Amino acid sequence: MEFNIALIPGDGIGPEIVAGAVTVLKAVEKKFGHKFNFTETYMGGCAIDKYGEPLPQETVDICKSSDSVLLGAVGGPKWDGAPKRPEAGLLGIRKALGLYSNLRPSILKPQLKDASPLKDEKLKNGLDVMVVRELTGGIYFGNREKAEDGSWASDEERYSVEEVKRIGKIAFDTAMLRNKRLVSVDKANVLESSRLWRRTMTELAAEYPEVELSHMYVDNAAMQLAINPAQFDVIVTSNIFGDILSDLSSAIAGSIGMLPSASLGATKCGMYEPIHGSAPDIAGMDIANPIATIVSAAMMLEMSFGLSEEAKAINTAVDKVLDMNYRTADIMSEGMIKTGCKKMAELIAENL
């Protein structure tokens, strides 16, 4: 089978980790007889440097004509004073591709249990949480205002019933494939938008009688993730709350460098990326962890291309390499074998 993949390496460590994922995908090509056509393009700070824009139209066109997109990371202090920030490219491409849902699994691998900041007793039942985050609405896309003298600023949090309903369907469908438990996180005791969110989720639950729906305020949800993460199966929440909670759940899992994400819409074309940032302080040093990007590529194979066996092979290879005690700097512990970004990707490809 043949697939067209748009590559957006981006900024900082982005080019290194995307290169690592390509190494593994080429091994998949060889093992399973597929053909992946890669087209590299620009977004973020590097696009500002080259085109003066964080999201050139050429990049949008390439992504739209591809079967899916693999992204590294964007941003960095270099562009803090730019009229348009690199992150605007990320928001723009999500909008352009209609990617309204973001799925972020947080799974604690047994090999990395010591890397979690939580005590053993809180992890005795394991950790396997899927955060479903609404991606194209809410405060990140609301109207923004500020006083000319800088004395005040405001950002609008706005959701429609239809926006909540479509992300809710993704979350309920995801729960049906897992343990049929869904927690909807909001701030309905304060925010009108959250009251609409809660009401819509409650109404939608009637279409999924097998799924146990509960509601939780976002501050309590953050506390509960730290106290007893095993109580969660699927979490669905708004753009800003999902941004925060998914980072928290990833930290509990031991390293932000291990976890993937998928951004999806109404079609099979998705955008897949690690949940971590561009880490410009370690860029070019060959010490970044490519695993989150590699398993993001595995999610792409399964969710967009329907290649479940190939995705499983990648994840199994990752486990094999971890069982062999190879570690990048962020997950290094006593007695392990320290390795770099490029070598880690090569080891995973070899163990496919």
Catalytically active residues are 140, 187, 219, 243, 247
First to last CA, the chain: 19
- How is residue 301 written in tokens? 């194979």
d(CA 32, CA 54) in angstroms, rounded, equals 36
Kindly give, in sequence order, each residue whose CB lies less than 8 Å from that of residue 231, ignoring residues fewer than 6 positions away.
224
Q: What are phi and psi of 10, to 5 degrees?
A: 80, -140
CA distances from 65 to 37, 58, 96 (A): 12, 11, 12
Q: What angle do CA 4, 272, 112 make, to 5 degrees?
A: 130
Give the residue from 295, 302, 276, 320 showing the smallest Cα distance to 3.
302
Tokens of 312: 């499983």
> How many CB atoms neighbour CB 167 within 10 A?
29
Give the rounded distance of the alpha carbon of 255 from its chain centre.
13
Whole-Å CA distances, 51 to 42, 56, 84, 186: 9, 7, 12, 39
Report how far residue 21's alpha carbon sits from residue 210's, in angstroms, rounded to the nearest whole number.
37
Q: What dihedral angle (degrees, nearest 10) is formed by the CA atoms of 250, 74, 28, 40? A: 170
> In the numeric block, which tokens belong to residue 241?
């709350």
Give me the sign of the Cα torsion angle 202, 205, 210, 213: negative
The answer to whether residues 327 and 333 touch, using CB atoms and an 8 Å cutoff, is: yes
Cα 273 from chain centre: 6
> What residue type is assigned to position 337 of the chain?
I
Sign of CA dihedral 24, 26, 28, 34: positive
CA distance 95 to 230: 33
